[in-house]
Amino acid sequence: MTDTEPRICVHGLGYVGLPTAAVLANSGYEVYGFDADPDHRSDLMKGSFDIEEPDLDRFVRRALKDGLRIVSQPQEAEFHVICVPTPYDKDLDRTDLSYVEAAGEAVAAELREGDVVILSSTVPPGTTAGRLRDVVERSGLSASEDFVLGYSPETVLPGNTLTELRENDRIVGTVGGQPTDRLVALYDSFVSGDIRTADATTAEFVKLIQNAYRDTNIAFANEIAKLAHEFGIDSREAIAMANEHPRVEILRPGPGVGGHCIPIDPLFLNHNNDIPMLIETARRVNDGMPEFVAELLSAALGDLEGMRVALLGVAYKGGVSDVRETPSFVIAEGLLERGVDELRLTDPYVNSDDIGYELSSLEESLDEVDAAVLVTDHPEYGALSPQTFADRMSGDVIVDTRAMLDMDRWEAAGFDVYQV
């Protein structure tokens, strides 16, 4: 360590790495930002990137002026923070840790005694103490004696990343019995939430069970929604009443679960074991909701052969452009397989160039369609007028997967409204 503010090298400048590097730089640190993609590095050097987050553009530009340097090779630094992707290979039923290993090799080449290495990527429990430690120790240095190897997961929500990086509680853990004080000091310098300490494997585990809890709770809500349809009950009204109990907190049902975290992270708990039956069941329930949406539409229209349908919303959640694991694409594919003749997609936040579908304006998507399916809970959709739809649609069926529309108002306007 030096007597001045430590230098930090952030490995991976994606959805988490870039905001992390910017927050650190804007907190007064000298930060090196490295990404293995040369085109991405080149764009960042020009202040350009395709991650849409409120205020991130301004925040990154400020960081590039104040302390963030985009580099073509990892640099020597007192802290190395790894924020690389960890995709889940569903065909092999295991996590792809190749990016973590590559980052570990890059760190090993620059590692010195006294440095701190922190993994922030979402990984199966034991990765930091196992595969990453093995790779980094190829430097000839020991994680239990010569440097500190730790783990600290991010827990940010797309659309609110900068705020949550700085305000959410953090958990930090180390391997080899090393103290956590330097990790705590680093995060405490820019995080207003509490910093909790553990060993690295516990820290990895906590991140995964947080998202597995949400996934299983959503799956329970989705099961309730399906059962409610069988009994002719409003599922959301029933859930709201159930949640009046002080020890009950059921989440909301919907068309499926999207984003990188909730539909992916629980699978990491299955890595090299076959224990989590409940988690696997929850995944199947949530993955099956797009089919349930298609069934609702079929119940309303009968045979979907030759029908024209508008899908409102492509992003996986409201107010963002993120389409990772979005249920909208699965719904679209399912409807086409059922014979829908023309499918129109619209989204006020998503650009057609970024996805494999052509997007229309809201008005164009509604022209002469037999039905409209509201998929994403964008705030704009909550203020939609029945008259806008009545003036353009040839049919009168609305499937509202997010319960954003006032059913009484829309039914009074002549629409047949179905809610998940």
Which one of 252, 268, 287 terminates a domain?
A: 287
| pLDDT (0 to 100) of residue 93 | 79
Rounded mean pLDDT, 71-90? 95
Helix (H, G, I), strand (E, B) or coil at 298: helix
* One domain for residues 274 and 388: no
Q: Is the pLDDT of residue 406 over 80?
A: yes
Region 128-157 average pLDDT = 96
Q: If 0-12 CB within 10 Å is exposed, 13-18 middle and 19+ buried, where does residue 178 land?
A: buried
Top mean-pLDDT range of 79-93, 262-276, 277-291: 277-291
270 and 313: one domain? no
Q: Does residue 272 carry a pLDDT above 80?
A: no
Confidence of residue 276 (pLDDT cuts 50, 70, 90): confident
Residues 6+ apart with CB under 8 A from 225: 235, 253, 292, 420
pLDDT band at 66 (very low <50, low <70, confident <90, very high): confident
Question: Does the pLDDT at position 315 exceed 70?
Answer: yes
Q: How far apart are CA 257 and CA 29, in angstroms?
A: 37
Mean pLDDT (the chain, rounded): 94
- Give the tens place of pLDDT for each residue, 364-399: 999 999 999 999 999 999 999 999 999 999 999 999
pTM: 0.90
CATH number at residue 277: 1.10.1040.10
Q: Which one of 9, 83, 261, 317 is the catalytic residue?
A: 261
Same structural domain, 281 and 373: no
Residue 275: its pLDDT value, please?
77
| 84 & 147 share domain | yes
Residue 138 maps to a domain: yes
Give the span between the Cα atoms of 176 and 199, in whole angstroms.
9
Domains: count for the chain: 3
Largest CA distance in the chain: 74
- The confidence band for 68, taking pLDDT boundaries of 50, 70 and 90, is very high
Would you call 226 a catalytic residue per the annotation?
no
* 4-8, 24-28, 38-42, 252-256: segment of lowest average pLDDT: 4-8
Among 9, 207, 226, 317, the active-site one is 207
Mean pLDDT of 165-188: 96
In this structure, the answer to whether residues 159 and 37 fall within a common structural domain is yes
Shared domain check, 397 and 270: no
CB neighbours of 65 closer than 8 A, spacing ≥ 6? Answer: none
164, part of any domain: yes
pLDDT of the residue at 110: 97
90 part of the active site? no
Q: What pLDDT score does 2 carry?
A: 45
CA atoms within 13 A of residue 185's CA, in its CB half-sphere: 9
pLDDT tens column, 1-20: 445 689 999 999 999 999 99
Residues pairing with 119 in the sheet: 82, 151
Mean pLDDT of the region 330-349:
96
Structure tokens that stand for 390 in this block: 């009545």
Task: Indicate if 30 and 154 belong to the same structural domain.
Answer: yes
Cβ atoms of 86 and 99 closer than 8 Å: yes
Both 177 and 281 in one domain: the answer is no
Q: Identify the domain containing residue 343 by its residue range.
A: 289-419
pLDDT attached to residue 273: 76
Whether 235 and 335 map to the same domain: the answer is: no
In a domain, 95, yes or no: yes
Packing angle, helices 277-287 and 289-301, rounded to 10: 30
Mean pLDDT, range 348-362, rounded to an integer: 89
**Rounded Cα–Cα distance for residues 313 and 332 (Å):** 11
pLDDT tens, position by position, 127-140: 999 999 999 999 99
Q: What's residue 3's pLDDT?
A: 52
Instruction: Give domain status of residue 1, yes or no.
Output: no
Looking at residue 265, its pLDDT comes to 93
Q: What is the pLDDT of residue 1?
A: 41
Whether 2 is covered by a domain: the verdict is no
Mean pLDDT, residues 256-275: 88
Identify the helix (H) or strand (E) that includes residue 397: strand 397-400
**390 and 281 co-located in one domain:** no
The whole-number pLDDT of residue 99 equals 98
Whether 242 is covered by a domain: the verdict is yes
Q: Would you place residue 52 in the very low, low, confident or very high pLDDT band (cuts 50, 70, 90)?
A: confident
Q: What is the mean pLDDT of residues 76-101?
A: 93
Mean of pLDDT values over 62-66: 91
120 located within any domain: yes
> At 53, is the pLDDT very low, low, confident or very high (cuts 50, 70, 90)?
confident
pLDDT mean over 76-83: 98
pLDDT (average), residues 64-70:
92
Q: What local confidence, expressed as pLDDT, does residue 290 receive? A: 98
End-to-end CA distance of the chain: 56
CATH number, position 186: 3.40.50.720
Residue 120 has pLDDT above 60, yes or no: yes
Question: Which residue matches tokens 């998940």?
Answer: 420
Is 276 inside any structural domain?
yes
Residues 282 and 307 in one domain: no
Residues 242 and 379 in one domain: no
